[in-house]
């Protein structure tokens, strides 16, 4: 009898959940009969030899690796801060925030039942599932937010940044994941929702950055995500800071060099490896 690889990992105690198993598999750390296997749905006999090698994922999902890079490259400090994880899903960003000293994290997602059990039972985490961030008001929170991460799908950041800004205290920072497939026009999105053209990547980065500056954010840093999205899209991390109401952001980010670096490192690699 054959079984999915992610199910086999969980069954043998090599991963705590199928989501974590999938993350370890996609990270390239799982070997079946000595051969690297990067597809969680691949079927194998229940008696097959499975090894997990290399670096074990330190977060509940791969998403934590994205924020980890931003923490390092953007020199972010989250100790004792009130944070918000918009599009929390399993909670990789939330986990990264907590491991970097966050005092509280509001984990917001339109879905439900996705947040990892460990985080759901952490007293520092406020689970706001079945919640559309566009309709959250300051009155829904116990205090203004000092740091926000945004990792959303099927919606443009231009629809989300305004409502999120209202929840942040002045000077608060945000790290947003720019996903070209959800920012570009439909005619610029290829098969399976993948956007490969560097020119389109530059275009959507400029669009999001310009919008952020227009609603009183400054654009501080830009880098590319260390891992690709599920379908192989290159994604980007933009670092924002909230300015006083009515102020216009003036700092610019260098989309050209970041897009070039991203394509040089990630193009042709499955899942950003």
Predicted pLDDT at 266: 86
d(CA 85, CA 151) in angstroms, rounded, equals 8
Predicted pLDDT at 272: 39
Cα dihedral 159→162→164→170 (10° resolution): 160
DSSP 135: G
Predicted pLDDT at 55: 66
Contacts of 23 (CB under 8 A, 6+ apart): 57, 61, 62
Predicted pLDDT at 60: 85
Q: Which tokens belong to 119?
A: 């985080």
Low-confidence residues in the chain, pLDDT < 70: 16, 55-56, 268-273
Domain annotation for the chain: domains and CATH numbers: 2-52 (3.10.290.10), 63-272 (3.40.50.150)
Q: Which tokens belong to 165?
A: 């800004």
The sheet with strand 35-36 has its strands ordered as 35-36, 30-32, 50-52
d(CA 114, CA 116) in angstroms, rounded, equals 6
Q: What are phi and psi of 119, to 5 degrees?
A: -75, -40
């Amino acid at each position: 009898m054959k079984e999915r690889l992610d199910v086999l990992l969980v069954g043998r105690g090599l991963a705590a959940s199928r989501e974590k198993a999938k993350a370890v598999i996609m990270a390239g750390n799982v070997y079946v009969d000595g051969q690297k296997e990067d597809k969680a749905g691949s079927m194998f006999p229940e008696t097959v030899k499975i090894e997990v090698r290399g670096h074990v994922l330190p977060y509940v999902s791969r998403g934590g690796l994205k924020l980890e890079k931003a923490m390092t490259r953007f020199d972010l400090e989250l100790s004792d801060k009130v944070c918000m994880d918009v599009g929390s899903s399993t909670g990789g960003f939330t986990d990264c925030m907590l491991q970097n000293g966050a005092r509280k994290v509001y984990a917001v997602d339109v879905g439900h039942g996705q947040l990892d059990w460990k985080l759901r039972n952490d007293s520092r985490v406020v689970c706001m599932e079945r919640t559309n961030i566009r309709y959250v008001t300051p009155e829904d929170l116990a205090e203004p937010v000092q740091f926000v991460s945004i990792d959303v799908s099927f919606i443009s950041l231009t629809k989300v940044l305004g409502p999120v800004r209202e929840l942040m205290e002045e000077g608060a920072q945000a790290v947003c994941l720019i996903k070209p497939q959800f920012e570009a026009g439909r005619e610029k999105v290829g098969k399976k929702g993948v956007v490969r053209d560097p020119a389109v990547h530059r275009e959507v980065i400029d669009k999001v950055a310009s919008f952020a500056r227009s609603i009183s954010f400054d654009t501080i840093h830009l880098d590319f995500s260390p891992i690709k999205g599920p379908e192989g899209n290159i994604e980007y991390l933009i670092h924002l800071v909230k300015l006083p109401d009515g102020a216009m952001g003036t700092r610019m980010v260098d989309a050209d060099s970041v897009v070039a670096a991203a394509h040089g490192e990630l193009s042709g690699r499955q899942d950003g490896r």
